[in-house]
Amino acid sequence: MNRPSLAFLLILVVSANASAVDFQRDIMPVLTKAGCNGGACHGAAVGRGEFRLSLYGGDPQADFQAIVRELQGRRVNLADPGQSLLILKATETIEHGGGQRLGADEEGANRLLAWIEQGARWSEHQDGGDASPSDLQRLAVSPQRGVVTLESPQVQLSATAHFADGSQRDVTRWTVFTPEDTSSVSVDATSGEATVLRRGRHVLVARYLGEVTPIEILVPLSDHPAGPAVSDSLGWIDRQVIQRLSTLRIPLSPSVDDATFLRRVTLDLTGRLPTPAATRGFLAHERSDRRERLIDRLLESDAFNEYWTSRLAQLLRLKSQANDDLGASTYHRWLREQLEQRVGYDRLAREVLTAQGDTHEIGPANFYRTVGGPREQAELTSEVFMGQRLRCANCHNHPLDRWTQDDYHGMSAIFATVRSGRTISLDERGFVIHPKTGENAVPKIPGERFLDADTQVLGTETGANADLREDLAAWLIDSDNPYFAKAIVNRLWQAMMGRGLVEPVDDLRATNPATHPALLDQLADDFVDSGYDLRHTLGLIARSDAYARSADAVEGNESDDRFYSRFLRTPLPPEVLADAISDVLELPETYGDLPLGTRAVALVDPKTESRSLDILGRCSREDTCESAPGSGAGGLTLKLHLFNGDLLNRRIAAPQSRLSRLLRESKPPMQVIDEFYTTALQRHPSEAESAFWREQIGDGSGTREVLEDFVWSLLTCNEFTTNH
């Protein structure tokens, strides 16, 4: 390939003299738009071809040094700018493993050449790499949210950069617009015009310099002329849900009947099936507020405390240590006490984060035995209490969020001051090494301030003898914290509605926006106002119209899996399904050497021996237990055992089972069938189902075999193994 012509170079030099070229403001966007600092190129952790850039330009000062100072300055040729490796490689004038990234006659090559011609300086006024007026303060995109149709699917995207010196610039040409799903949206890289290819909600990420900003484009999911109407009579949860459904023109499924609601809310709040007696009593209740009264009873029940202790234990990844299960038992008991005493979630979090002492006596101190080191502790804390994946900022700044390596290693440095073991204590000599500097990382509250001897955060003393975790906890549970309340209410919403407003629930970031942003904000604010009361928010969701909708689709909402036009059918958690099977069979399962009758949701240790729970796919708590919505548990193993395995077969026919008892009592076959239906599904069999089973029973010559098959089919059907 020929080198650029002399005439071309002269044109570039003339244009370069028109205005000063700034490295940060003008050159970094060229490198990002060309893909030079992407993860597959020089932005990789080890770089490419002995040339390393920060990922997506997260560290422009380091990039300036790499381009201008490294390799004896060979990457820029001040004497003959056109012969600079930076240009020759990018235009593939000479061999380049990454191929041609810039055309020789493109504006990007023009900028590079002009910058080198002007001396390859950091800025017009500085020749270093310190902060400058070119620092980007904000990236404004338009539209932030837009609604289009497939008949007119084009959207013109634009981006404006606001800099530290008060100036602003249209940077649409140099902004990278990346669709979350490239099969749904295409973007013209030059003009910034987006074309939507299918219905639904589409998210794009606009990237310029170190800023990333989301763009949401909506295309109605149906051809209905209008969606459901927003009524003033609706509660604020339902107003937010209906507004989004109206925009997308998604029709609503009807509300469920009382029996289905009873089963749904009892499973969600207590992890149990309603008993036949509870079902009969609820359905016989004639008060119009019976659902509200039911919710109140469940929230105040011992079963609620037991089940939500289990859920909190999974969130915190509570498990026993090698040759030591006493600490886990103490931790589990402490969690249950917090629920029983209605301790606010903020107080619970603070106790966990600042705990120390003997883990056999101080339950929350076991939080510091969950993972193996200060970096892992920072990752666990950020995911659990902030809903943030701080781990993505370990080797480089987070490519899709605000977090920097200083944030990650600074938070790790806070936890490095904790000495773990059976006794948790402080070790002021603890440290972690910052990989960028090779020196001890300075403790830092992520996204906020460094903690040193001369710093005070939220009025808490810091210094050599201080517990830095107190500063972190005070910041975290402050009512103005932008992460803490959202992280937990998003999880509560997922627990009740089958899907978080943000998924995954530990990945709350601007570039992964909530399906209903205003609703998430309002839930968080309300949670704070309630005193961080878990019961309050769970009850609020349970009382909404959205929660009470049928899981059955109607015409126009069949493809809705995230906007709550219908209830999302979700697999029962392994422990809940195990207990449900035991309740229906009237035959408790054995767990390790624990007393017969111990419920799966009451188990302290996920390592407790249980073949049934292994088959059902229980979480080991070695990592997060927050799987994707609808993914279920157990996989193929569960399906095979449900079809033909000891999980059910050996127990259905056991002498102590419900079926064996009813047959010993000489109950008529159809009465046996009806009892199993009301116990497992909280309803009587339909006429068609009754007719089918009468036909199977026939003359009664093989009644037991038929009933065993019936019970097996009931316990493997979708209606039983899911909440719906």
Q: What is the pLDDT of residue 224?
A: 76
Summarize the confidence of residues 507-521 as an average pLDDT: 96
- Burial (Cβ within 10 Å: 0-12, 13-18, ≥19) of residue 691: exposed
Q: At 18, is the pLDDT very low, low, confident or very high (cuts 50, 70, 90)?
A: low
In three-state secondary structure terms, 446 is coil
pLDDT for residue 465: 58
Q: How many CB atoms lie within 10 A of CB 347?
A: 14
Q: Could you give the CA distance from residue 65 to residue 439 in angstroms, rounded to a whole number?
A: 20
Is residue 540 located within the same domain as residue 417?
A: no
Q: pLDDT tens digits, residue range 370-403?
A: 999 999 999 999 999 999 999 999 988 888 899 9
In a domain, 253, yes or no: no
Are 671 and 584 in a shared domain? yes
pLDDT, average across residues 86-100: 91
* First CA to last CA distance, the chain: 64
In a domain, 236, yes or no: no
Q: Is residue 122 part of a domain?
A: no
- For residues 154 and 147, what is the distance between their CA atoms, to the nearest angstrom? 10
Residues 246, 250, 253, CA angle at the centre, nearest 5°? 115
Compute the average pLDDT of residues 352-366. Answer: 98
pLDDT at 2: 46
In this prediction, residue 628 has a pLDDT band, given cuts at 50, 70 and 90, of low
Average pLDDT estimate for 610-616: 91
Q: Residue 132 — pLDDT band, cuts 50, 70, 90?
A: low
% residues pLDDT > 70 (the chain): 92
**Residue at a domain's end among 476, 491, 522:** 476
Q: What pLDDT shows up at residue 633?
A: 60
**Does residue 110 share a domain with residue 32?**
yes
Lowest mean pLDDT among 410-424, 449-463, 493-507, 694-708: 449-463
Neighbours of 567 (CB within 10 A): 24
- What is the pLDDT, as a whole number, of residue 634? 63
Q: What is the CA radius of gyration of the chain?
A: 30
Task: Indicate if 97 and 142 belong to the same structural domain.
Answer: no
Please state whether the peptide bond connecting residue 81 to the residue before it is cis, i.e. omega within 30 degrees of 0.
no
Give one DSSP letter per residue of 377-398, joined into a string: HHHHHIIIII---GGGGSSSS-
Contacts 24+ apart (CB under 8 A), 166-173: 167/133, 169/25, 171/29, 171/139, 171/208, 173/107
Model confidence band, residue 225 (pLDDT cutoffs 50, 70, 90): confident
Tell me: pLDDT of 425 over 80. Answer: yes
Q: SS3 for 183?
A: coil
Domain assignment of residue 324, yes or no: no
3-state secondary structure 464-500: CCCCHHHHHHHHHCCCCCCCHHHHHHHHHHHHHHCCC
Kindly report the average pLDDT of the chain as a whole number: 91
Residue 629's pLDDT band, with cuts at 50, 70 and 90, is low
Mean pLDDT of 201-220: 94
Number of domains in the chain: 5
Q: Looking at the predicted structure, is the pLDDT value of residue 17 above 50?
A: no
Q: Given the structure tokens 């219908």, which residue do they identify?
A: 566
Other CB atoms within 10 Å distance of the CB of residue 249: 20
Compute the Cα dihedral for 430, 432, 437, 443 and give only its sign: negative
To the nearest 10 degrees (0 to 180), the angle between helices 302-315 and 290-299 is 60
Of the candidate ranges 70-84, 159-173, 263-277, the one whose mean pLDDT is the lowest: 70-84
**What's the pLDDT at 223?**
79
As a whole number of angstroms, the distance between CA 589 and CA 575 comes to: 11
Q: Confirm whether 126 is domain-assigned.
A: no
Q: What is the mean pLDDT of residues 92-98?
A: 90
Whether residues 76 and 164 share a domain: the answer is: no
Q: Are residues 648 and 660 in the same domain?
A: yes
**Residue 164 confidence (pLDDT):** 87
Q: How far apart are CA 613 and CA 577, in angstroms?
A: 9
Task: Please tell me the predicted confidence (pLDDT) of residue 631.
Answer: 58
Out of 201, 219, 237, a domain closes at 219
C-alpha to C-alpha distance for 678 and 697, rounded to whole angstroms: 19
Other Cβ atoms closer than 10 A to 66: 18
173, 107 Cβ separation under 8 angstroms:
yes
Query: Are 459 and 494 within one domain?
Result: no
pLDDT at 320: 94
pLDDT in the model for residue 124: 66
Phi, psi (degrees; rounded to nearest 5) at 349: -65, -40
> How far is 131 from 414, CA to CA, in rounded Å?
27
CB atoms within 10 A of CB 708: 18
Average pLDDT over residues 623-650: 73
Alpha helices (H) in 416-476, listed in sequence order: 468-476
Of the listed ranges 179-188, 215-224, 456-465, the least confidently predicted one is: 456-465
User: Does the pLDDT value for residue 12 go beyond 50?
Assistant: no
Q: Render pLDDT for 46-63 as a digit per residue (tens, 0 to 9).
A: 888 889 999 998 889 999
Name the amino acid, one letter, at 144. Q
Please give the biggest Cα pair distance in the chain.
Answer: 103
Q: How far is residue 579's CA from residue 317's CA, in Å, rounded to a whole number? A: 21
pLDDT for the residue 182? 93
Q: What's the confidence (pLDDT) of residue 287?
A: 84
Q: Are 604 and 575 in contact (CB under 8 A)?
A: no
Q: What is the mean pLDDT of residues 512-517?
A: 96
Cα 109 from Cα 93, distance rounded (Å): 12
| 451 pLDDT above the threshold of 50 | yes
Give the C-alpha separation, 578 to 584, whole Å: 10
| Rounded Cα distance, 424 and 430, in Å | 13
Whether the pLDDT of residue 536 is over 60: the answer is yes
Identify whether residues 464 and 350 lie together within a single domain: yes
CATH number at residue 208: 2.60.40.1080
Task: Kindly state whether residues 468 and 356 are assigned to the same domain.
Answer: yes
How many other CB atoms are there within 10 angstroms of residue 695's CB atom?
8
Token digits of residue 352: 């966990």
Range of the domain at 275: 258-300+482-568
Query: What are the b/e assignments for 621-639, b being 16+ CB within 10 Å?
Result: beebbbeebeebbbeeebe
Residues in the chain: 724
Overall average pLDDT of the 283-303 stretch: 94
- One domain, residues 360 and 269: no
Q: Report whether pLDDT(14) > 70.
A: no
Q: Which residue bears the tokens 């339950």?
A: 363
pLDDT confidence band for 72 (50 / 70 / 90):
confident
Model confidence at 289: pLDDT above 50: yes
The answer to whether 201 and 248 have CB atoms below 8 angstroms apart is yes
Given pLDDT bands bounded at 50, 70 and 90, which one contains residue 458? very low
Residues 6+ apart with CB under 8 A from 306: 270, 271, 336, 599, 601, 602
Does 124 reside within a domain?
no
Confidence (pLDDT) at 396:
86
The pLDDT score that the predictor gives to residue 58 is: 87
b/e map 363-392, b = 16+ CB within 10 Å:
bbbbbbbbbeebbebbbbbbbbbbbbbbbb
> 262 with 187, same domain?
no
Average pLDDT on 179-204 reads 95
In a domain, 307, yes or no: no
Q: Which residue type sits at 291?
A: R
Is residue 125 in some structural domain?
A: no
The helix/strand count (H/E) of the chain reads as 27, 15
Q: How far apart are CA 128 and CA 130, in angstroms?
A: 6
Query: In a 3-state reduction of DSSP, which class is residue 292?
Result: helix
55 & 148 share domain? no
Last residue within a domain, chosen from 450, 476, 502: 476
Q: Report, as an integer, the average pLDDT of 451-468.
A: 57
SS3 of 286-316: the string is CCCCHHHHHHHHHHCCHHHHHHHHHHHHHHC
73: its two tokens: 């300055």
AA identity, residue 450: F
Cα 217 to Cα 155: distance, rounded to the nearest angstrom: 9
